[in-house]
Amino acid sequence: MRKKIVVGNWKMNTSVEEAINLLVDINQFIEDEIAIVCVPFTHIVTSIELAKNNLSVGAQNVSEYEDGAYTGEVSARMLKSIGVDYTIVGHSERRQFFYETNETIAKKINQLLKEKVTPIFCCGEPLNERETENHLKYVENQLEQSLFHLSKEEVQNVMIAYEPIWAIGTGKTASPKEAQNVHAHIRNLLSQKYGENTAHEITILYGGSVKPENAKELFECEDIDGALVGGASLKAESFTDIILAL
Ligand code: PGA
């Protein structure tokens, strides 16, 4: 179901002790607002114990395999067994540094859906694709190869995060108009593939240098349902200011 939501992506930051302090601070600021923090694997159990109200704890990655001899991997079933309901998949850093392909990401989404964990599927173009005005096609291809094998029922359990790579961690944000344009395109593609009603039920988040100063104008756009926040989610005050801007 479509949700207005802010998701924090802590990436490979914080010790468990720092995470506890951050969560205690976030808890103080929020009341009934719905938010998710995607923390490192090592922090999940402690974070779930600490998170209160409508704060959920998610993971940042999952194995494409079900179980077996895959040293160092964490399966969807393992995540589910400790109470994880959301997991980021296909983040551009995983594509860039760990060579994840659209096909691998499709398999990860399948594993998560099998365990009823909501995938937060990331897509978005690098700078050269934006500069050559190929960004819509680029994102379309990512959706086709990682998502469009899903049935209508399955796709409704996926959240999408559009994150232009040139805006991640760079301080450069897509303007609300640029972001809305891609979000509308994504919703339109979903509509063509699954029908208008289904397309309107899917949450599409924007990510890439979202901060308290730019959150509100992004959230005012028709097809932007919230944000996936990296840097600004590591400070309780900026993260909660973004949540409160929804
Ligand atoms: P950023 O990261 O907010 O630091 O740009 C966003 C993300 O990578 O999800």
Per DSSP, the residues of 6-70 read: EEEE--S---HHHHHHHHHHHHHH-SS--EEEE--GGGHHHHHHH--TTEEEEBS---SSSSSS-
State the pLDDT at residue 173: 84
State the pLDDT at residue 155: 98
Q: What does the pLDDT profile of the chain (246 residues) look like in tens digits? A: 899 999 999 999 999 999 999 999 998 888 777 899 999 999 999 999 998 778 999 999 999 999 999 999 999 999 999 999 999 999 999 999 999 999 999 999 999 999 999 999 999 999 999 999 999 999 999 999 999 999 999 999 999 999 999 998 888 889 999 999 999 999 999 999 999 999 999 999 999 999 999 999 999 999 999 999 999 999 999 999 999 999
Q: Which residue has the CA at smallest separation from atom 1 of ligand 1? A: 230
pTM over the 0.85 mark: yes
Indicate the angle between helix axes 176-194 and 212-219, nearest 10 degrees. 40
Q: Which residue has the CA at smallest separation from atom 6 of ligand 1? A: 230
CB distance 26 to 240 below 8 Å: yes
CA of 109 to the centre of ligand 1 (A): 21
From residue 88, how far is each of 24, 120, 224 by CA, in Å?
23, 4, 18
Ligand 1 pocket: which of 5, 7, 9 to mutate (most atoms <8 Å of CB)?
A: 9
Short-list 77, 79, 58, 41, CA closest to 5: 58
Residue 8 near ligand 1, beta carbon < 6 Å: no
State the pLDDT at residue 241: 96
State the pLDDT at residue 54: 82
State the pLDDT at residue 182: 98
Residue 214 near ligand 1, beta carbon < 6 Å: no
